[in-house]
Chain A
Amino acid sequence: MKSILSILGILFFVPFTTAQIEKPKISISYTNAQRHEVLLQLEQVADINFYYDRQWLGDELISGTYNNTHLSEILEDIFAATLINFFFLDVQTVILTQNLVIKDELHQSFYKDSIDAIHTNSMEIAKNPAFYLMEKVDSNSKIETVRIGKEQKSTRQEKYTLSGIVRNNLTGEPIQNLAIIQKGSSNGVSTDINGLYQIELSAGLNSIQTKAIGIETVEKRVIMYNDGRLDFRLNDNVEQLDEVVVESNRLKNVETVVTGVVELDVADIKNIPLVLGERDILKTALTLPGITNAGEGAAGYNVRGGGTDQNLILLDDAVIYNPSHFFGIFSALNPFTTGGVTIYKGSIPAEYGGRLSSVFDINTKDANTKKFSGEASLGPVTSNLTLEIPIVKEKSGVILGGRSTYSNWILNSLDEESLKNSKASFFDIVAKYNDRVNETSTIAATGYYSRDAFSITSDSIYSYSNRLFSLKWNRKLNDKNSMNTVLANSQYGFNIDFEGNSDKNFNLGYRINETEFKLKFLKLHKDNHTINYGLSSKLYVVNPGEVVPQGSASIVAPLEIQLEKGWESALFLSDNIKLNDKLSVDLGLRYSFFAALGKSSQKIYETGVPKNEGTLTEIKEFDNNEIIKTYGGLEVRASTRYFLTPSLSLKVGYNNTFQYIHTISSNTTVSPTDTWKLSDINIAPQRANQVSLGFFKNLGDNAYELSLESYYKKSNSILDYKVGAQLLLNESIETEVLQGEGKAYGVEFLLKKTEGRLNGWLGYTYSRTFTKLDSDFIEERINNGEYFPSNFDKPHDISLVTNYKFTERFSLSANFVYQTGRPVTFPVGSYFLDGSEYALYSDRNKFRIPDFYRLDISFNIEGNHKIKKFAHSFWNISVYNVLGRNNPYSVFFVTEDGSLKAFQSSIFAIPVPTITYNFKF
């Protein structure tokens, strides 16, 4: 344990210790000066800046003379009799911190008292106080000593319980998943969703430490006289994220109350082998149980047997409709600006809604507000540049990221005439501004735009783009309450530009735009309740497509499918209740409501018969903003965690969800021309219910995390389409839509090793997912109305992700993936019609394409860590698909010259080597 912590210490404090080495020696003399005066003098002499609160320093007068002495020595003397601690942020910046609670007198008496109190934990006390002093220099927080409980002479226990709440000093929000570790032992707990923790400590002196991503690490000496309470108020960490992550959340696996949550941080994926040089957090998520896609290079994600349209993908709280580039080979998230992603695949928190299967909550890093920095990468397909620019020092900053391909340039510079007009390009840009307005408020604003353009045939250009904007305001109302306001707008659209030689030139466009306002309150009630409540309201405007004739010769009639408008709102309330040490529950309720709004003409069909031109009875007209149809319902989000043993927990969850917006696609995989449609008079919302059960265990001093989860999900009114449906620009889409039932179940196993030279994870999932489309009418029935495997039903899925560090600079990574081939519809025979042979297709998804497997290897070289170096470099050499496995992506049957031929296509059929160069400055 200790060695892990010291490694941690090295990792964590490297910048500071090295910075100290660079510090100049100085000469200074002062007599009977107040401390702050001395500091001012030092600022002059040593060209440094101190950051502190004047009040801490008091009015005492001090004197001293130093000749060619290290600054740190001088500072130690200055602050010797105070509670002030200092650390060097860089050569020119010294931050002073102060103990908030303890008075000098207590501090003085501490050693004596603790010696008296100790029974068991004598190891700590045996250590020389100098040990602490040393640590104090290293650490950016000071070690404070706290006495807990009133000592009772009559009853002396071996162990006492320390509990309390950990909050963010700035926002007052509880900090969850913060680890509290007893130093020098394997004892440790983590805070729950309410920031609450409870740890058993030996009577007497204990040293405890907090650890979490982005939160300062604080160490305290705690003398336990009895059970008691210790609250923490912690600041956000001034550290760079990358270096901290791996060691954090040590107990999160077993502690979290919510089931089916996956978290990934960019730092975790740095060494994972790359395809064409792109680091990709969402592709990495696919190696975790329960998250799959239709195949290599496919866009869209299937979470626990859900469709690709059932995921709410949020970037800084705004929806991204199509987070992929180049048909899904790359994801559209900039890997350098992305901080991390949390994926809720089981119990979705009550504050989120509108999609059945999952929430992908992706956040952008906060900009460095201290100094200008940046990161760039050069890969074979794209280049990427990220800049972090402080605006008001220590207060606000902006992060800018941009990424683009060069493929278009390559295409244009070719001599080949037929390719000159071809296009395939994409780019994405992201900017985030973060501002600590004052002690109680923070503001963050994010803007994002991504665009893809490609031409499949030389007479048409396809393009699609995502645009989003979000504004967030967090405000602490008082110690117990805080408020969180979000305003977000997203737009997704695609365009087809057709310019052949004929008179049919046109331009086709599709757009969806949504604006959401969300207000969330957080209330801490007593010690054991954390209550979240609020409301969200969203307005959708969909332009399902318009055709604009191009050129005067075009005889294409302008066509505009009527706009769709919808209003989706929800009220939510959740309470995380700690019932006792072992049992916690998280109860959430969400009432969601959807109204389809005019202006619109809605087609009314006879009930009980298939909808088609013949059964159309009436067309109802609705005025602008008139309510056409409303849907709504109560959604329950409940989960509970029970500790069977301190390192083994059992979690159970139940979840139901509604979805009012649907992807319209007649493809088996996601295509860029898929459109989204709102529920209306003819299309009901999709609904799902999920129950999940999981066991979570930490082993080997928390070095191994083990989980076994299972789920059963039933969905209703999920959308499918009649065979060969023509969906684009269809004015009567409801005549092509089938709504059926779905069911999915699975068992997910994950073993994760987070520490040591060898780390990584092994996941295995057994899951099935089925669809049923039944009707009294043959044209609305698929596979005789029985359950059939969905397009993404892949029962066995094994992923192994490993990384081995030879030294701090060299590491080797390998991924292995095996999946059952996905179901496809094959011909079971052939027939002749009009002299040509055609395929007679089987029942839907009766066959499978061959199994998928792939091994990737990469070798990573970190540049050296000399502080003076301008840039810190990182090389990644990857070979994707080392085995050269020709994994079929799809199979299809073509009638050519009157006879039937079978083909299979694959995307990466040979090993693909790539070299990427990254550097930070």
Chain B
Amino acid sequence: MKQQALTFHYYILLFLLAGSFFSGCTEPFAPDLLPQAESILVVDATLTNESRNHEVLLSRSSQEQGKLQEEKNATVRILDDNQQTFTFIETEPGRYISNLPFKADTSRSYRLQIVTSNGKSYTSKAESLPQTSQIENVSAQKTVTDNGSEGVQITVDSFDPTGNSTYYRYEYEETYKIIAPKWVPDQLVVLSEESMAVGVVNRDPNKEERTCYATDNSISIILTKTSGAGEDRVSDFDVRFLNKDNFIISHRYSILVKQYVLAQQAYSFYEKLQDFSGSESLFSQSQPGFINGNIFVDDDSEERVVGIFEVSSVSEKRAFFNYAELFPDEDLPPFIDECRPTNFDIDGTPSVFEFVKSNRVSYTNNVTNPATGALEEYIVVPRICGDCTVLGSAMVPDFWEE
């Protein structure tokens, strides 16, 4: 969808070139939004066939953009059609976790029941577990996109011989190795607060600051379906594109792709959500509106609930690659920071002391008087360039393979 908007800009440009001065434009704007009388309960609940402590996230819609408003002190449980109840407890605001690990069973159907702190009760429709389908392969390939960007495409293959899976949603968890580009074995430390003295010492050998690992979760809705295809096969499906300039693939990168097989209704819920949140073509606009999920208030009021109680089967697979394997003999992607060095006179003003004290710089080198050999200046860079813990954790993840 985003692609579309972009291409229209090209047309507009073209018409300009053609001398016809056709001038469309798309620009950000700030709408005047009327305050909504009351906020709406938002439910994010997924129950899978994986035995674990399942999670239900409750929040409320907010008029203030970018602000998450958790729904606290609610009673949350999942009931199956065999009168079994799985209770959830709130471990942190808005986050409810099942008391015991459990998994969805193919022969059962499940309902989510929520009673909020104001006494309102909400129940989902009964949902049962869809077909299970295994990811066959996750691969990383060097690619050039249609609009000319070079990078790495992560694709998924999956096949369900029974042909019943059909609706797929993907999430991924990417972990990447960070090596601080300006790391040196020495560091600047505060020697004396009173005299505002700093000095260069060796780094603490027990404190790894050169190589770290960071993990991010996918935040977009990734969907595909095989209902139009001849067989229930997902092949070369694009889950993630990483531009060659993205610093996270500089060294070694790993991605864990999770494949959820969804019920048709859940798929259509996400599809609409994706449809309404994508970019629009310049000339026609799909009619947005409230997307009904499968959770409803128990009284007969008009109150609506956002979100869906998703019961899905999950399968996951991990892949690794090194930048050098895909782009041998090429420069690394630019680091997230320019790492411009700054020279501080050892006694001058501004003094490097404040920066060292607040841990905002990393030491890289110094300047000495060529005649006397006396220390004259410290050369520092932003801390992020010499200390990887700004971006990640020094702990090597359990699954990490070199």
A81 contacts partner chain B, Cβ-Cβ < 8 Å: no
Contacts of A903 in B (CB 8 A): 26-29, 279-280
Interface centre among B3, B264, B288 (most CB of A within 10 A): B288
Interface centre among A828, A888, A914 (most CB of B within 10 A): A828
Q: Which of A84-92, A247-255, A455-463, A530-538 contacts B (4 or more CB under 8 A)?
A: A455-463
- Closest approach, in angstroms, between the C-beta of A842 and any C-beta of chain B? 8
Query: Mask for B61-101, Cβ within 8 A of A = 1, else 0?
Result: 11101101000000000000000000000000000000000
Task: Choose from A458, A829, A895 the contact partner of B36 (Cβ within 8 Å).
Answer: A829
Decide if A381 touches B26 in the complex (CB within 8 Å).
no
Contacts of B396 in A (CB 8 A): none
- Closest approach, in angstroms, between the C-beta of B256 and any C-beta of chain A? 16
Task: Choose from B4, B23, B268, B277 the contact partner of A912 (Cβ within 8 Å).
Answer: B23
Chain A residue at minimal CB-CB distance from B217: A835
Decide if A902 touches B31 in the complex (CB within 8 Å).
yes
Within 8 A of A (CB), among B154-195: 171
Decide if A555 touches B18 in the complex (CB within 8 Å).
no
Q: What would 25 A/B residue contacts be, using CB atoms closer than 8 Å?
A: A276-B22, A381-B18, A422-B7, A422-B10, A456-B3, A457-B4, A555-B231, A613-B264, A724-B268, A724-B291, A726-B268, A729-B228, A826-B33, A831-B62, A834-B219, A840-B61, A840-B306, A841-B288, A897-B219, A899-B65, A903-B26, A904-B27, A904-B28, A905-B24, A905-B25
Contacts of B286 in A (CB 8 A): 666-668, 724
Chain A residue at minimal CB-CB distance from B8: A456
Task: Choose from A417, A721, A825, A910 the contact partner of B21 (Cβ within 8 Å).
Answer: A910
- Closest approach, in angstroms, between the C-beta of A883 and any C-beta of chain B? 14
Decide if A457 touches B221 in the complex (CB within 8 Å).
no
What CA separation (Å) do A419 and B17 show in the bound complex?
13
What CA separation (Å) do A102 and B276 show in the bound complex?
78
Query: Mask for B304-338, Cβ within 8 A of A = 1, else 0?
Result: 00110000000000000000000000000000000
Known: A456-B281, A832-B68, A894-B278. A726 touches B42 (CB 8 A): no
Contacts of A188 in B (CB 8 A): none
Contacts of A721 in B (CB 8 A): 287
Contacts of B292 in A (CB 8 A): 723, 778-779
Within 8 A of B (CB), among A783-834: 784, 791, 825-834
B242 contacts partner chain A, Cβ-Cβ < 8 Å: no
Decide if A825 touches B288 in the complex (CB within 8 Å).
yes
A633 contacts partner chain B, Cβ-Cβ < 8 Å: no
What CA separation (Å) do A277 and B20 show in the bound complex?
9
B357 contacts partner chain A, Cβ-Cβ < 8 Å: no
B348 contacts partner chain A, Cβ-Cβ < 8 Å: no
Query: Mask for A546-574, Cβ within 8 A of B = 1, else 0?
Result: 01000000011101000000000000000
Within 8 A of B (CB), among A879-921: 886, 888-895, 897-910, 912-914
Decide if A894 touches B39 in the complex (CB within 8 Å).
no
Decide if B288 touches A831 in the complex (CB within 8 Å).
no
A671 contacts partner chain B, Cβ-Cβ < 8 Å: yes
A32 contacts partner chain B, Cβ-Cβ < 8 Å: no
Within 8 A of B (CB), among A621-663: none
Decide if B10 touches A419 in the complex (CB within 8 Å).
yes
Task: Choose from B146, B233, B283 the contact partner of A328 (Cβ within 8 Å).
Answer: B283
Contacts of A901 in B (CB 8 A): 28
Q: How many residues of B contact A (CB 8 A)?
A: 82
- Closest approach, in angstroms, between the C-beta of A652 and any C-beta of chain B? 37
Contacts of B230 in A (CB 8 A): 555-557
Known: A503-B235, A910-B21, A912-B23. A829 touches B61 (CB 8 A): yes
Interface centre among B3, B22, B68, B292 (most CB of A within 10 A): B22
Decide if A410 touches B17 in the complex (CB within 8 Å).
yes
B interface residues with partner A (beta carbon < 8 Å)? 2-4, 7-8, 10-11, 14-15, 17-31, 33-36, 39-40, 42, 44, 59-63, 65-66, 68, 146-148, 171, 217, 219-221, 228-231, 233, 235-236, 264, 268, 271-273, 275-292, 296, 302, 306-307
Contacts of A847 in B (CB 8 A): 31, 34
Decide if A832 touches B59 in the complex (CB within 8 Å).
yes
A174 contacts partner chain B, Cβ-Cβ < 8 Å: no
Chain B residue at minimal CB-CB distance from A503: B235
Decide if A459 touches B146 in the complex (CB within 8 Å).
yes
Decide if B10 touches A557 in the complex (CB within 8 Å).
no
A670 contacts partner chain B, Cβ-Cβ < 8 Å: yes
Contacts of A597 in B (CB 8 A): none
- Closest approach, in angstroms, between the C-beta of B70 and any C-beta of chain A? 10
Query: Mask for A398-427, Cβ within 8 A of B = 1, else 0?
Result: 000000001100110010011100101000
Contacts of A328 in B (CB 8 A): 283
Decide if B217 touches A913 in the complex (CB within 8 Å).
no
Decide if B22 touches A912 in the complex (CB within 8 Å).
yes
Contacts of B28 in A (CB 8 A): 901-904
Contacts of B285 in A (CB 8 A): 667-669, 890, 892
Task: Choose from B34, B171, B279 the contact partner of A828 (Cβ within 8 Å).
Answer: B34
What CA separation (Å) do A902 and B40 show in the bound complex?
21
Decide if B236 touches A833 in the complex (CB within 8 Å).
no
Interface centre among A411, A667, A905 (most CB of B within 10 A): A905
Decide if A723 touches B287 in the complex (CB within 8 Å).
yes
What CA separation (Å) do A276 and B44 show in the bound complex?
50
Decide if A406 touches B281 in the complex (CB within 8 Å).
no
Q: How many residues of A contact B (CB 8 A)?
A: 96
Chain B residue at minimal CB-CB distance from A454: B11
Within 8 A of B (CB), among A244-271: none
Decide if B287 touches A666 in the complex (CB within 8 Å).
yes
- Closest approach, in angstroms, between the C-beta of B115 and any C-beta of chain A? 20
A745 contacts partner chain B, Cβ-Cβ < 8 Å: no
What CA separation (Å) do A545 and B10 show in the bound complex?
30
Decide if B31 touches A891 in the complex (CB within 8 Å).
yes
Chain B residue at minimal CB-CB distance from A910: B23
What CA separation (Å) do A417 and B236 show in the bound complex?
25
Task: Choose from B62, B147, B219, B278 the contact partner of A829 (Cβ within 8 Å).
Answer: B62
Chain A residue at minimal CB-CB distance from B42: A831
A617 contacts partner chain B, Cβ-Cβ < 8 Å: no
Contacts of A724 in B (CB 8 A): 268, 271-272, 275-276, 286, 288-289, 291
What CA separation (Å) do A738 and B217 show in the bound complex?
39
What CA separation (Å) do A640 and B7 show in the bound complex?
54
Known: A456-B281, A724-B272, A908-B22. A831 touches B306 (CB 8 A): yes
Task: Choose from A406, A424, A830 the contact partner of B11 (Cβ within 8 Å).
Answer: A424
Known: A723-B292, A902-B29. A327 touches B23 (CB 8 A): no
What CA separation (Å) do A419 and B10 show in the bound complex?
8
Contacts of A458 in B (CB 8 A): 7, 146-147
Contacts of A159 in B (CB 8 A): none
Known: A831-B62, A891-B29. A668 touches B287 (CB 8 A): yes
Known interface pairs A904-B29, A908-B23; 18 further A-B residue pairs with C-beta atoms within 8 A, sorted by A's residue number = A328-B283, A418-B148, A424-B11, A457-B7, A502-B235, A723-B287, A723-B289, A778-B296, A779-B292, A834-B44, A834-B221, A837-B66, A844-B287, A891-B31, A892-B280, A906-B25, A909-B25, A914-B21
Contacts of A863 in B (CB 8 A): none
A96 contacts partner chain B, Cβ-Cβ < 8 Å: no
Known: A456-B281, A668-B286, A724-B276. A836 touches B147 (CB 8 A): no
What CA separation (Å) do A778 and B278 show in the bound complex?
26
What CA separation (Å) do A424 and B17 show in the bound complex?
14
- Closest approach, in angstroms, between the C-beta of A311 and any C-beta of chain B? 18
Contacts of B8 in A (CB 8 A): 456
Task: Choose from A559, A667, A841 the contact partner of B289 (Cβ within 8 Å).
Answer: A841
Chain A residue at minimal CB-CB distance from B63: A829
Chain A residue at minimal CB-CB distance from B281: A456
Known: A457-B146, A830-B62. A914 touches B20 (CB 8 A): yes
A297 contacts partner chain B, Cβ-Cβ < 8 Å: yes
